[in-house]
Structure 1
Amino acid sequence: MPRRWSPLFCANNRSHTVATPFVFTFVGADQPGLVEKLSQTVADHGGNWLESRMSELAGQFAGIVKVEIAQNKAAGLRTALLALSAQQLSVLVADQQAEEATGNGRSLRLSIVGNDRPGIVREVSHALAERHISVRDMDTSVTSAPMSGEPLFEAVAHIQVPHALDLSELNTQLDRIADALTLTIDLEESLR
């Protein structure tokens, strides 16, 4: 006999409870089982792991995680995550807020390449903040330049630009920064 959908249950066999987004960050010494420990804690409290960004840097493993959880279970998950500090894992739980709409502007991709030097991120992020541009995600790295072996800074950011912003003025300011710091800065429509 075929299974039929029951109005008492929704997807994933969860009852109709109000789910809320729940975001936390973590950092700890890189070791096997760290992600499993976090995911088990989320699962033990009925949470659903939705999105995450994680990376190892200088022997530390850090990340940001978004889960969905029933409102009546959120406090228990918060307590359990914060208790992981006893296991040398720092966790910070964000205050609960309504999710912000992501359609409040144009999505653009910003890429930066040039010889590494102090101040690149500061100068570019200052120009963006002055224009009320939100950085949605950003990856940076320093590698060796192919020919010279000199340190090469590379960054890719996805930004949210207000519809009313004059893009030619933004490009002019980014060109000034590129000239002053000997960089290549490209701004283009994002496919995200």
Structure 2
Amino acid sequence: MVVSIIADDQPGLVDSLAQTVVDNQGNWLESRMAQMAGKFAGILRISVSEPHSSSLQEALEALQTRGMKVIVEQAVDESAPATRALLLNLVGNDRPGIVREVSQLLARQHINVEELSTECTPAPHSSDMLFRAQARLQVPTDVDIDTLTETLESLADDLIVEVSHPGA
């Protein structure tokens, strides 16, 4: 199952979640969690045998009585068409709509964004803000990397784009 959680940040949130998983015979497989603006947010994947699935789901949803917003979804079959994993790094001047422009371009090419991190930071020697994004993508094998890079760079004159294979 896949679980999303958001709550006011405080010590013990991850422990409560982990204890709930263990108490209901679940196995915590992977997660992404972060604190942002006083909130704690996360998503995790849990394996659990069928006989314990409903009790785990009920126990996770019961965490809402402790101020956590919890959404539990059953995982789906991950079989997909032929794709390859790529890493995307972008840097450019920040402006409204840049995430939408990039995501729209990727969607038009049937590229799946598996993970995305963004931030705005002051540019060195300037008061301008720089937009930075890092993404892990699943790209159809028929998409040419050079063409993808050029298309992304065409979104703005100042956009620096690097597309690479994981571990490269």
Q: Deviations over 1:148-167 (max 9, x none)?
A: 14322111111111112233
Q: Secondary structure at the match of 1:92?
A: strand
Distance 1:89 1:107 in 2: 33
1:73: Cα distance to partner? Answer: 0.5
Equivalent position amino acid for 2:166 in 1: S
**TM-score, normalisation: structure 1:** 0.81
Cα distance change on mapping 1:31 and 1:46 into 2, 3 Å: same
- The answer to whether residue 162 in structure 2 is matched with residue 186 in structure 1 is yes
1:102: Cα distance to partner? Answer: 6.9
RMSD between superposed Cα atoms in Å: 1.7
- Residue pair 1:47, 1:67 contacting (<8 A) in 2 also: yes
Q: Among 145, 151, 155, which residue is 2:123 paired with? A: 145
Q: Among 81, 84, 90, which residue is 1:106 paired with? A: 84
Q: Secondary structure at the match of 2:156?
A: helix
Equivalent position amino acid for 1:175 in 2: E
**TM-score, normalisation: structure 2:** 0.92
Distance 1:173 1:119 in 2: 17
- Alignment partner, residue 50 of structure 2: 71
Equivalent position amino acid for 1:153 in 2: F
Q: Deviations over 1:85-143 (max 9, x none)?
A: 11110001113422x14783121111111122111110011000001001111111112
Distance 1:169 1:49 in 2: 39
Distance 2:100 2:139 in 1: 18
Aligned residues with identical type, % of pairs: 43
Structure 2: runs of 5+ lacking an equivalent: none
1:72: Cα distance to partner? Answer: 1.1
- Alignment partner, residue 31 of structure 2: 52
Q: Secondary structure at the match of 2:120?
A: strand
- Residue pair 1:104, 1:160 contacting (<8 A) in 2 also: no
State how 1:135-174 maps to structure 2 within 5 Å. Answer: 135-174=113-152
Structure 1: runs of 5+ lacking an equivalent: 1-21
Q: How many residues align?
A: 168
- Alignment partner, residue 85 of structure 1: 64
Q: Secondary structure at the match of 2:143?
A: coil
Cα distance change on mapping 1:31 and 1:91 into 2, 3 Å: same
Higher Cα Rg, which structure: 1
Equivalent position amino acid for 1:72 in 2: P
